[in-house]
Amino acid sequence: MSDFLSNFDSNKMEKNSDNVVEEKQRRVSQNKKYENEETELDPEYLKKKKRQKLILILLTIVLLAVSGLTYYQVSYVTMPNFKGKSLSDAQKWATQYKIKVSTEDEFNEKIEVNSIIKQSKKEKKKIKKGSSVTFFVSKGANPDDKITLPNFKEMKQSDVEKWIKKEQLESMVVVDEYSETAPKGSFLREELSEGVDRENFSRKDSGKLIFSKGKEVYQKDISVPDFKGKTQLEIENWAKKNEVELEIKKVSSESIPLGQVVEQSIKEKEKIAKKTKLTVNISAGKGVKVPNFANLTKENAMTQGKLQVTVEERFNLDIPYGELLSQSLEAETELTEEDDLSIKVMYSAGKPYLKDLSGQNEGELQKYFYDKFRSKGANIYYVVNYVNSDAPKGEIVSMDTSNTFLPLEYTVTVNVSLGY
């Protein structure tokens, strides 16, 4: 049994070994066959392989380029042009792209306040996110700039308003007001702030430019009452409340008691508007008429009832003595109890006449020359010349002129005794 198994195994092993050798030889022969076939049949195959390699290389390059571009686009942003735009717009953009913003303020007449004048990065330039940009922001026009004021009288109101806007005068305003004389739209006046005039006006100074709105038109909705029985104070309060232009006239009346209404210029219940003129006559009591004092003598002029007459005399070379020169109130003027009843009347004293004063005392000269001449308007004076004489000391001995009419200006020499 063992011999059989031994023979069997030995034969099997040899057989298997032969089979293995044959299989290897078959495969080698087959591979050589394939190699001969490839070399002979595939010139296109090699080209195809090259194209595939080229395409692969190009795809790799494109992929790298796309990746790089994507990174660039994600990491960088295009700088816009913010000139003339508001700072808030720039800040929103900067926040969106994580750009750090710094600002510097500058005066600028052309760019509005809080708008951008210029920027540190040029327009369309690519900047990296997280980098910094400086914006130069307008503070508006310089308030200290001197402004030349035009002749507003030659300008329309609309043109003045445009000029104010153009010059950026924030403290200059146009004001309209009613005018009884100036046409609507015409320039009335300018009112500049205290201490400022046209020559030193600057943008920061304030002022008003007033233009006319024309006449104010009021509705006739005020009913005029009957003022009889009303006091003057009540009438004035009514006029003030209703903005009526009231004129109170005091007139004499023989029948209406003092202080009561005599008449009114607008009848009761009539409708009037604001600013209407209303005249109310109020009794000032019984009247006194000023007489023509030319018809009265000096003595009669001083006794004229309620009138307080002061009579004076004045020398006059042309008007005869006793005739009227003037009276302080015209004849026929009517006065009331509330008026000043004093009146001054002046009569002519004729021509000045100097009599002989010999024998009188020197001490009487002052009073005589004042009372006689200067108090009546003649500038006549005297000078004393002392002389030796038997007459008592101080007695007037003689005069250089006497017993004659004098001009209104004259100086008389009076000779006075020394008493020896």
Three-class SS state of 210: strand
pLDDT at residue 257 in the model: 87
pLDDT at residue 27 in the model: 59
Q: Is the per-residue pLDDT at 69 higher than 80?
A: no
- Across the range 390-401, mean pLDDT stands at 96
Q: How far apart are alpha carbons 153 and 161 in whole angstroms?
A: 13
Neighbour-count burial of 302, counting CB atoms closer than 10 A to its CB (0-12 exposed, 13-18 middle, 19+ buried)? middle
Q: Are the CB atoms for 378 and 316 separated by under 8 Å?
A: no
Provide the pairing of β-strand 324-327 with 288-289.
unpaired
Residue-wise pLDDT for 191-235, tens only, equals 999 999 999 999 999 999 999 999 988 999 999 999 998 999 999
Q: Are the CB atoms for 120 and 101 separated by under 8 Å?
A: no
Q: Could you tell me what percent of the chain has a pLDDT over 70?
A: 87
Q: Which residue has the higher pLDDT, 39 or 293?
A: 293
Would you state the structure tokens that stand for residue 346, as one six-digit string?
Answer: 């002046």
Provide the pairing of β-strand 334-335 with 288-289.
antiparallel
pLDDT at residue 2 in the model: 44
Phi, psi for 145 (deg, rounded to 5) = -65, 135
Q: Which amino acid is at 33?
A: K
Q: Is the per-residue pLDDT at 290 higher than 90?
A: yes
Sign of CA dihedral 138, 143, 145, 147: positive
Would you state the structure tokens that stand for residue 11, as one six-digit string?
Answer: 């034969």
Q: How far apart are alpha carbons 227 and 269 in whole angstroms?
A: 11
Phi, psi for 330 (deg, rounded to 5) = -65, 150
124: region left, alpha or beta (phi > 0 left; psi from -120 to 50 alpha): left
Give the residue from 402, 404, 366 showing the smallest Cα distance to 384: 366
Task: Kindly indicate the confidence band of residue 258, based on its pLDDT and cuts at 50, 70 and 90.
Answer: confident
Residue-wise pLDDT for 309-318, tens only, equals 999 999 999 9
- Across the range 97-107, mean pLDDT stands at 94
Helix ranges restricted to H, 134-264: 157-167, 232-241
Angstrom distances, CA of residue 121 to CA of 82, 84, 124, 126, 192: 10, 15, 9, 9, 45
Q: What are the start-end ranges of the E strands in 15-131?
A: 76-78, 100-106, 116-119, 126-128
Q: How far apart are alpha carbons 125 and 199 in whole angstroms?
A: 49
Spacing of C-alpha 90 from chain mean position: 38
* Segment (H or E) for 343: strand 342-348
Task: Kindly indicate the confidence band of residue 321, based on its pLDDT and cuts at 50, 70 and 90.
Answer: very high
Cβ contacts of residue 156 below 8 Å, gap of 6+?
A: 185
Q: Is the per-residue pLDDT at 8 higher than 50?
A: no
pLDDT at residue 4 in the model: 42
Residue-wise pLDDT for 162-172, tens only, equals 999 999 999 99
Would you state the structure tokens that stand for residue 349, as one six-digit string?
Answer: 């004293």
* Segment (H or E) for 27: helix 2-41
Three-class SS state of 157: helix
Average pLDDT, the chain: 88
Q: Are the CB atoms for 397 and 380 separated by under 8 Å?
A: no
Give the residue from 369, 413, 377, 414 showing the smallest Cα distance to 394: 414
Three-class SS state of 260: coil
pLDDT at residue 378 in the model: 97
Neighbour-count burial of 83, counting CB atoms closer than 10 A to its CB (0-12 exposed, 13-18 middle, 19+ buried)? middle
- Across the range 292-313, mean pLDDT stands at 91
- Across the range 314-341, mean pLDDT stands at 92
Q: How far apart are alpha carbons 108 and 99 in whole angstroms?
A: 26
What DSSP state is assigned to residue 229?
A: T
Q: Which amino acid is at 86?
A: S
Three-class SS state of 106: strand
pLDDT at residue 147 in the model: 95
pLDDT at residue 13 in the model: 45
Q: Which residue has the higher pLDDT, 14 or 57?
A: 57
Task: Kindly indicate the confidence band of residue 23, based on its pLDDT and cuts at 50, 70 and 90.
Answer: low
Q: How far apart are alpha carbons 391 and 420 in whole angstroms?
A: 8
Domains parsed from the chain with CATH numbers = 76-138 (3.30.10.20), 152-212 (3.30.10), 222-283 (3.30.10.20), 288-348 (3.30.10.20), 353-417 (3.30.10.20)
